[in-house]
Amino acid sequence: MVKVYIPRETTADSLGAELLVKAIATEAKYRKLDIEIIRNGSRGACWLEPLVEVETDKGRVGYGPVTLDDVPDLFDADFLNDALNDVQSGGKHAKFLGDVEKLPWFANQERLTFARCGVIEATSVAAYASLGGFVGLKNALATTSDGIIEQVKDSGLRGRGGAAFPTAIKWRTVADCKADQKYIVCNADEGDSGTFSDRMIMEGDPLSLVEGMTIAGLAVGADKGYIYLRSEYPLTQKILNEAIANAEAAGYLGENIQGSGKNFTLEVFMGAGAYICGEETSLLESLEGKRGQIRFKPPLPAIEGLHGKPTVVNNVISLASVPVILEKGGKHYAGYGQGRSLGTMPFQLGGNIKNGGLVEKGFGLTLRQLIEDFGAGTATGKPVRAIQVGGPLGAYFPASLLDTPLDYEEFAKAGGMLGHGGVVVFDDTVNMAKQARFSMEFCAVESCGKCTPCRIGSVRGMEVIDRIVGAKNAEERNAEHIVLKDLCETMESASLCAMGGLTPVPVMSAVKHFAKDFEKEL
């Protein structure tokens, strides 16, 4: 019996993986070959998806990207047996990649949070436990609330959703609150364009999120958790629910976890297509069944969150990083990264990129290393002109800033923000005035409407940019630029949340670095 791994994951699925599974199973049956198809997640090399892997005693041999047309050829090339005979033989098929883990793309990563993602059968408790899964939970059960929070503090983990707030401080605040009920809420409303790490871990290693949330529950004294998942991820929903059911059946979730007397239940809650619900207070409103309009802070959700109770609201990656921290120790995790940006970050490389996907690496590598070494430049082969890091509210960088290290502080110094680690690459055909206008348009479409600078400012912003690019002369244009700057300052300082507050960042960075683009009609 040969084990063949084919991802059950949105990227692979969007490129035909489901049909491939059927085709390979049918072909194997027809040729009387005994195979077992295992559904893993994606390893993150999106350009190789669908990536088909054959397990051998020398490692996993990859073929990719595999299309339906390749299937008969793969069998003709004896891909199941050739792989078994000699991993490095070069293969008889054009899609042969050799030992997947030896590909530079994977070998040069530092995978802690994503160590199992794409490697194991995604929803299997046994597969998860065979690679260190639930060791962190067992360690957490053996220590106290303080003991858990101490490890998280030692790890230096900061909120991976974008705000980079120290996770341990948030947990400490909730743990110190006296309340009859506390909650753990996972923010899985991954709406930022160019980001997909939350989805990948939830599809590829969902039990790490389940374990991380359970540990968070033990740390702060919460016995109920919600995963607020965006509705654009229907496959993720299925996989998460399967993982939750499997964890419950194995006694890692629910009542009396592993005989400890501790309880923690988990529920997946679907959003409904509102970007603003990725803002934590909006998310809580939505989870309570209301319009997703943001709340004033204070009170912080840590003190008055869901249903007015102390609530930890953490991003998926923050929570999914907790198991490895509890398994190997906070100091081990802090051994990666640099300065005040400790640990690893799953960077997501998208847009106009040849080899796009997920790269987990300690903080500190440069944008150039990410885009050129991992990404191999643009998909179109043209020069890189602009890079947006950190989602639709992140700054646009010109190619001259490619040597900026990916680190929270270094990025802030360069006028950007790392956010959730999304990196979107544009080639030299991009018009940056158009991108700036889009930032305002997006804010207008997705604003929750509660505060005026965001709701109205974004609409006025589009109009001003239209007037700038339509200006008859430099004088007219400069006058409008003053209005835009003024408007952006108002949005930045007077908006209630980051949506209106940060929309000026992509706009003004485009003005700063690509001023020429604002001198011609769109």
Partner 1 sequence: MQQLAGPLTYQDWDLDKAREAVLEYAGRTGGVMIALHRIQAIFGYIDDSAMPMLGKVFNLSRAEVHGIASFYHDFKREKPGRYTVKVCQAEACQAMGSEKLTEEIKAFLGADFHETSPDGNFTLEPVYCLGNCACSPNIMIDTQTYGRVSIDGFKSLANTLAKEAK
Site for partner 1 in 422-451 (CB under 8 A): 422, 424-427, 430, 435, 438, 442, 445-446
Q: Do the Cβ atoms of 60 and 5 come closer than 8 Å?
A: yes
299: left (phi over 0), alpha (psi -120 to 50) or beta: beta
Site for partner 1 in 292-311 (CB under 8 A): 292-293, 306-307
Assess 372 for contact with partner 1 (CB under 8 A). Answer: no
Cβ-based nearer residue to partner 1, 128 or 233? 233
Assess 106 for contact with partner 1 (CB under 8 A). Answer: no
* DSSP state for residue 365 in the 8-state scheme: -
Q: Do the Cβ atoms of 447 and 499 come closer than 8 Å?
A: yes
Cβ-based nearer residue to partner 1, 80 or 440? 440
By the 10 Å C-beta count (0-12 exposed, 13-18 middle, 19+ buried), 193 is classed as: middle
Assess 225 for contact with partner 1 (CB under 8 A). Answer: no
Assess 22 for contact with partner 1 (CB under 8 A). Answer: no
Q: Do the Cβ atoms of 145 and 75 come closer than 8 Å?
A: no
Cβ-based nearer residue to partner 1, 15 or 135? 15
Assess 13 for contact with partner 1 (CB under 8 A). Answer: yes
Site for partner 1 in 377-396 (CB under 8 A): 379, 388, 392
Distance CA 180, CA 172 (A): 17
Which of 50, 53, 88 has its CA nearest to residue 69?
50
The minimum distance between CB 446 and partner 1, in angstroms, equals 7
| Two tokens, residue 4 | 């063949």
193: phi then psi, degrees, rounded to nearest 5:
-65, 140
Assess 517 for contact with partner 1 (CB under 8 A). Answer: no
Site string for partner 1, 153-182 (x = CB under 8 A): ------------------------------
- Beta-carbon contacts of 344 under 8 Å, excluding residues fewer than 6 positions away, are 110, 111, 112, 113, 321, 333, 336, 337, 360, 361, 362, 363
Q: Do the Cβ atoms of 210 and 227 come closer than 8 Å?
A: no
Assess 86 for contact with partner 1 (CB under 8 A). Answer: no
Residue of the chain from 90, 104, 289, 381 that contacts partner 1 (CB under 8 A): 289
Site for partner 1 in 188-207 (CB under 8 A): 190-196, 198-199
Assess 82 for contact with partner 1 (CB under 8 A). Answer: no
Residues that bind partner 1 (CB under 8 A): 10-11, 13-19, 46-47, 49, 190-196, 198-199, 226, 230-235, 267, 269-275, 286-293, 306-307, 348-353, 356-357, 379, 388, 392, 422, 424-427, 430, 435, 438, 442, 445-446
